[in-house]
Amino acid sequence: MEYKDYYKILGVERKADEEEIKRAYRKLALKLHPDRNPGNKQAEERFKGINEAYDVLGDPAKRAKYDQLGSSYQAWQRRGGRPSGFDWSQWTTGTPGGVRVEVGDIGDLFGNFSDFFNTIFSGMAGQGQDFSSRPRGRPRDIEQPVNISLNEAYTGTTRIIRYNERRITVKIPPGAKTGTKVRYSLTAKPGRRNAGNLYLLVNVTPNPFFERKAADLYINVDIDLYSAVLGSEIQVRTLAGDVMLNIPPGSQPGQTFRLRGRGMPKLRNPTQHGDLYARLHVNLPQQLNDRERDLFQQLTKLRD
């Protein structure tokens, strides 16, 4: 198995703080997003890679484990060890008691992570459970982490779970968020009353365009100086498709507009939605020709 350098993938130093990592991810995600690179397989693969890297480096617990693994792996290389000979077993996590659970992601760009990620991090959400102390005869519950994209959290999605020799399709409802648990009751074998429950522990991967707060979404919208001064009608991205937004004359940088009902569906009542807040970012012209400079100077005199 190949070791993945997540810091190199995001282009940050190992000592980078949380904000530096987030900025680096968002910059790359905007550049490599499939909407901006239709049909570009190389960009698609890099987009998957940066989402995987941020899923680890943006999570303090995963980052701590990854850093420990990195130190051990580098020491192994310094001793002349080959990558194929490294002992990965001490770093793997998974479900207890020998139960085999695998998650099959359905072709999702945000959730289809590498073998390296699945081997090292797939069972972290189940850590801390003491199955050895389970009373004899009591059904066993299993937690399995699963990554979904914000788009999937908006519409709802499914995951195929391989539990021992069985394939189970589990529905994840619209409005799911990081930390949501989806329960699936496991069917018992003949002669047993109950086989326990399988809980999918949802993690919603970051989206390069939207920031989520409960059921509300926030997005930064770029406009030019002239649209801000004179007013304009602009196109705003939403998870349900683009909508038009009227920008009044004299709009200011950082000004926020509320689009009612354009946010996330509410988990307990998916027919209700939160709101979308569009924050203006005014792009100032960096270069002016002589005519433009003259006109701005005339405007300055008019304002005096």
Q: What is the DSSP letter of 90?
A: G
Task: Identify whether residues 169 and 106 lie together within a single domain.
Answer: yes
Here the CATH number for the domain that contains residue 151 is 1.10.287.110
Here the CATH number for the domain that contains residue 229 is 2.60.260.20
| pLDDT score for 107 | 39
Q: What is the DSSP letter of 191?
A: T
Task: Identify whether residues 183 and 122 lie together within a single domain.
Answer: yes
| pLDDT score for 264 | 97
pLDDT tens-digit profile, the chain (304 residues): 567 889 999 999 999 999 999 889 989 988 988 878 888 989 888 998 998 899 889 888 888 888 887 766 666 555 555 554 445 454 444 444 444 444 454 334 444 567 667 666 654 443 333 333 444 555 677 788 888 889 999 999 988 877 767 778 889 999 999 999 998 887 655 555 556 788 888 989 888 899 999 999 999 999 999 999 999 999 999 999 999 999 999 999 999 999 999 999 999 999 999 999 999 999 998 888 999 899 989 988 887 7
Task: Identify whether residues 20 and 169 lie together within a single domain.
Answer: yes
Bridge partners of 217, per DSSP, are: 212, 276
Task: Identify whether residues 192 and 225 lie together within a single domain.
Answer: no
> Which string of DSSP letters, residue by residue, matches 7-50?
HHHHT--TT--HHHHHHHHHHHHHHH-GGGSTT-HHHHHHHHHH
Residue 296 in domain? no
Separation CA 146–CA 159 (nearest Å)? 8
Phi-psi region for residue 91, left (φ > 0), alpha (ψ -120 to 50) or beta? alpha
The residues near 144 (Cβ < 8 Å, ≥ 6 apart) are 95, 101, 103, 122, 123, 125, 126, 161, 198, 199, 200, 201
Task: Identify whether residues 188 and 261 lie together within a single domain.
Answer: no
Q: Within 13 Å and on the Cβ side, how many CA atoms surround 82?
A: 2
Residue 295 in domain? no
If you search the block for the tokens 């992570």, which residue do you land on? 113
Task: Identify whether residues 116 and 239 lie together within a single domain.
Answer: no
Residue 299 in domain? no
Residue 66 in domain? yes
Q: Which range of residues forms the domain containing residue 76?
A: 6-128+137-204
User: Number of folded domains in the chain?
Assistant: 2
| pLDDT score for 73 | 61
Q: How many CB atoms lie within 10 A of CB 203?
A: 19
Task: Identify whether residues 20 and 45 lie together within a single domain.
Answer: yes
Task: Identify whether residues 157 and 255 lie together within a single domain.
Answer: no
Separation CA 121–CA 141 (nearest Å)? 19
Residue 298 in domain? no
Task: Identify whether residues 181 and 248 lie together within a single domain.
Answer: no
Task: Identify whether residues 23 and 144 lie together within a single domain.
Answer: yes
Residue 230 in domain? yes
